Amino acid sequence: MTKYQQIKSHILAQIESGNWAEGDTVPSENQLAQTFSVSRMTARRALQELAEQGVLKRTQGAATCVASLKNQSSMLQIRNIADEIRDRQHAYRAEVIELDRRDASSLIASHFHFASGDPLFYSLICHWQDNTPLQLEERFINPVLAPGYLEQDFTRVTPHEYLCSVAPLTEAEHMVEAILADPLSQTHLHIKPGTACLRLHRTTWCRDGVVSHARLTHPGGKYQLGGHLTFPR
């Protein structure tokens, strides 16, 4: 392990342990250089690379801070449905339909590498744009990694926001499919049988394992998913 890598991992360790919180200023190049007995350029490299990764935020003349966890990796953004609706200048409202504990079906259990029948938290939430239901969010949560899930008020904070705060996600997997509206979707999205729906499956991991598995269903129409992509050259 090279010296600048040692410094990088030291900084990451401080952040992951919660020792250095979001927005805190981290030691300056000169301070790091001194405490690690390296030259300033070596300490600098550690800070620089972490800044490129989006972990730190540097401002010339001022300081280097721990970046906000939100804006991490917005490449394929895991965007907040609430923010999305509000960005479009519409009123957002969440309707919590169900929030309880239930046993994993074999299909769901497989996503968590659990045994079928293991207990999971479950939430069914409908996200409204003005007076239209726009997304039905069915979510299964690992109770070990998010023990306080059932006590949250999801009309104020979306499940995704809450989960990010308790278990910073490190990986995600997505799958989309087109389906015909199932009874649950028909009821809560106010759509007729035979309507085409877009369903997004999302599994999120934090360092310690699968945090949650969500089925997001959008009624027919269009839903912009990938957004814009700029290539490096």
Residues that bind DNA (CB under 7 A): 2-5, 28-31, 37-42, 44-45, 47-48, 51, 58-64
Site string for its own copies, 83-122 (x = CB under 8 A): ----------------------------------------
Q: Does 184 bind its own copies (CB under 8 A)?
A: no
Residues between 189 and 208 with contacts to its own copies, criterion CB under 8 A:
194, 196-199
Kindly state the smallest distance separating residue 49's Cβ from its own copies, in Å.
Answer: 9
Taking CB atoms within 8 Å and a gap of at least 24, the contacts of 66-74 are: 66/15, 66/20, 66/21, 66/22, 66/23, 66/24, 66/26, 67/22, 68/22, 68/23, 69/22, 69/164, 69/168, 70/164
Residue with tokens 């509206």: 181
Closest CA to 137 of 40, 215, 233: 215
Q: Which does 224 bind (CB under 5 to 8 A by kind): its own copies, DNA, none?
A: its own copies
Greatest extent of the chain over all pairs of C-alpha atoms, in Å: 69
Q: Report what 54 binds from DNA, its own copies, none; CB cut-off 5-8 Å by kind.
A: its own copies
Binding site for its own copies (CB under 8 A): 12, 15-16, 52-55, 72-73, 75-76, 168-180, 194, 196-199, 218, 220-233
